[in-house]
Every structure is written in structure tokens, then in C-alpha cells.
Amino acid sequence: MAILMYLLTLGACFCFVGLITNIYIRQKKKMSFRKVNIIILVLAVALFLLVLHHNFLGLSSLLRNEVSDSGIVGLQPVDFVPNAPQHAVDGRQEEIPVVIAASEDRLGGAIAAINSIQHNTRSNVIFYIVTLNGTGDHLRSWLSSSTLKSIRYKIVNFDTKLLEGKVKEDPDQGDSMKPLTFARFYLPILVPSAKKAIYMDDDVIVQGDILALYNTPLKPGHAAAFSEDCDSSSTKVVIRGAGNQYNYVGYLDYKKERIRKLSMKASTCSFNPGVFVANLTEWKRQNITSQLEKWMKLNVEEGLYSRTLAGSITTPPLLIVFYQQHSTIDPMWNVRHLGSSAGKRYSPQFVKAAKLLHWNGHFKPWGRTASYTDVWEKWYIPDPTGKFSLIRRHVEISNIK
């Protein structure tokens, strides 16, 4: 759009100069006031140069800043900060959209994740930060007063009305009462102009170049690439003795007829939806969002998810829709279960080699009893407003006093 506007303006300038020149020639034939004609020509040339200069100055800015917004009700773009990172970024590089949901009580996690991504790449990354009303101002002040003030980001408000009739609140399933956990279902709306995007949870730290994850090859017809739960022995965790977290039976209730009719093997390896790469062109073509919403509604009506749900409430519909229809990402790009227990399950060498660390589970890195907090804190930036603080630090300070 920016290039088109530039060309139209430039064309208009040439037409204008041509018109003035034509007037000049006619005037010269009819009048002997040469001085007046010269003044007209000089003014025309000056105007042309002025407009041309303005367009050349603004062209790069237009190319850099322009991001289309979605007109779909429910997801409202708030702002876009188009500053380039401090390190060199080639403006000709493909933009890498990274979508992260940021709730008020977990905002420090999103900040640390963004900081780790930004400092480990020279790629042209744009962060799409999905929030609820009231969080945007807090997030904006945090970003503007830290080393992240130069990043390119866009804040999008998530309208909870999108979930009406699709989610039933269940105290035993905490995610059911956290609307932002479903933001990943609406990627084409969040990033309307992109053909490809990365989604990741806020409880991650990226230690590799995000470009490598973005370049994950997706097979023809596949709308997303996930990290499978069978790709490493470290991911095989038994949850409350009912089903394993690495297969479908841990997420879906195979006693329900509707699930059995799908003919999906209960032993099929599940995948983790906390980090994935999406082909948004294919996502739209297959109406993935509508398919996910369909299964959300059916679950509300029939209770299709496992009662001893092995993981996030967002996982079951994704497992159904992407059954044997997804590509895989390198396991080192989702080294997870760091939040499954307070103890350390990986060697320091393995943690250092991981491209992405994921604290999925109850023990978050900003919490009291998390593991590998030293790795996470390397990327954490304290909240200048004081609203968010590390729980363990607060406890330690209280004990000292």
C-alpha cells in the first residue's frame, strides 16, 4: 500500500508539471510577458522537487510502519510501535510475527520471553501482544522504560465475548477461567496480513535465534507444526495416575461416543500447543478457527475432555482438529515440563543447549518454588511500576526483615 501511494503521488506530480509546462508554451505564444512565464515555470519545478523530496523521506517510514488491522469484532488493535531494534536489522528481511498472550498477573513472564527473543536474533521480529482491557497501559509503560523500548510491537485487546457458549468455567480446570489461553485459536485475526506466524506461551525463554523456529518446514496441507510429546523421554509424565500426558487418552474422554466415532487411536502421541509455527494461509483455507470453536461448543454440551485433563484446556480441540495433520518442530525448540515440579530434571548442559525452555506446569519461574530460576531471571526486567514482583524475592525480603 505504501509503494502504491508513493507511485500515485509521483504520477500526480508529473501530470502537474506537464500541465504547467503546457500553459507555459501557450502563454509564450500568446503573450510577451516572458518574466511572468519564467516565474510560473520556476514555481512548478520547485513544487515538484518539494513533493518528490517529501515522498523519498517518507517512503521507508511507510514501508516500515504499515501493518493492516483486522476489522473483525472482538480483537481490537491498540497501538503499534515501529522502532527498529538497537542492533542492525535489515529492513528487507521478512517480518517474523510472534504472538504472545500477556495477562496482568503473568506480565513479567511475557516481558522475559520477549526480551530473550529480541536479544538472540537479528531478524525483523514484530511482537503481537494479546491482553485484556486494563493491561495495555501497564504493559506499555513497562516496555517504554526498559531496554525493550526499541522493539516493534502491537498490543491487541482480546474480547471475552468471543468465548461465549464455548467455554464452561470449571474450578478444577483453571485455564477455563483464563480467556487469553484461547488467543492461539484466533491467529489469523490477530495477525491478519501475515502468511506465517509463531505462537508461544508467556512462560518460556528463548535461547536460540527465533528465525530458525520460524523457518520450520511445514508439509503441504499442514496448518501448524508442534512439538510432539513422544519426542523425548523427558516429556513422558504420568498425571494423577489417569492416562499419560504424552497420548490422546490423557486429554479426551474415550467413553464418549462422539470421541469414539472419530476413530482416533487413544495411544496416539499428543503434542504441546504452548509453542508452534502456523501457516496462516492454510489455517484460513481449512477454517481451523471455526473447527476449534465447534469442538469447544460440543465440549460444553457433552463434556468431551478427559476429567483428569493432562494439560491445558486448549489442548483437546487442537488434538482433534490436527489429528495426523500437523508437522513437527525440533524438540530442542520446546524443552518443557520445567514447571512440572520444584526439582531440577535436566542437566545444566542440556538446559544450556536448549533453544527454548518452557515452564509449563504449576511451578512458574516467577513463583516461589520454581526450578532453573537463575536461567529465567537473566532475561527478566523488573517492573518500573512495582505492580509485578517475583514472589520468592518478596518472601525472602520479608524473612530478612
So what's the pLDDT on residue 169? 77
Which of 60-69, 142-151, 152-161, 221-230 shows the lowest per-residue confidence on average (mean pLDDT)?
A: 60-69
Look over the chain and give the mean of its residue pLDDT values, rounded to a whole number. Answer: 79
Domains and CATH numbers, the chain: 96-231+271-285+323-378 (3.90.550.10)
Mean predicted confidence (pLDDT) in 329-345: 88
Which tops the pLDDT comparison, 18 or 185?
185
In the predicted model, is pLDDT for residue 395 greater than 70?
A: no
pLDDT of residue 327: 98
Phi–psi pair at 109, nearest 5 degrees: -65, -45
What pLDDT, on a 0 to 100 scale, did the predictor assign at position 145?
Answer: 83
pLDDT value at residue 368? 82
Residues 190-235 have pLDDT tens digits of 999 999 999 999 999 999 999 999 999 999 999 999 999 886 544 4
Greater confidence (371 vs 86) lies with: 371
- Residue 369's pLDDT is what? 83
3-class SS string, the chain: CHHHHHHHHHHHHHHHHHHHHHHHHHHHHHCCCHHHHHHHHHHHHHHHHHHHHHHHHHHHHHHHHCCCCCCCCCEEEEEEEECCCCCCCCCCCCEEEEEEECCHHHHHHHHHHHHHHHCCCCCEEEEEEEECCCHHHHHHHHHHCCCCCCCEEEEEEECHHHHCCCCCCECCEHHHHCHHHHHHHHHHHHCCCCCEEEEECCCEEECCCHHHHHCCCCCCCCCEEEEECCCCHHHCCECCCCCECCEHHHCECCCCHHHHCCCCCCCCECEEEEEEEEEHHHHHHCCHHHHHHHHHHHHHHHCCECCCCCCCCCHHHHHHHCCCCCEECCHHHCECCCCCCCCCCCCHHHHHHCCEEECCCCCCCCCCCCCCHHHHHCCCCCCCCCCCCCHHHHHHHHHHC
Assign 391 a pLDDT band (cuts: 50, 70, 90): confident
* Prediction pTM value: 0.77
pLDDT digits (tens, 9 = 90+) for 265-284: 999 999 999 999 999 999 99
pLDDT digits (tens, 9 = 90+) for 61-95: 332 333 333 333 345 555 555 444 444 555 568 99
Q: Looking at per-residue confidence, does 71 or 247 come out higher?
A: 247
Question: Does residue 187 register a pLDDT over 80?
Answer: yes
Is the separation of the CB atoms in 99 and 187 below 8 Å?
yes
Question: pLDDT value at position 139?
Answer: 95
Residue 97 confidence class, pLDDT cut points 50, 70, 90: very high
Q: Which residues contact 212 (CB under 8 A, 6 or more apart)?
A: 330, 333, 355
pLDDT at 26: 54
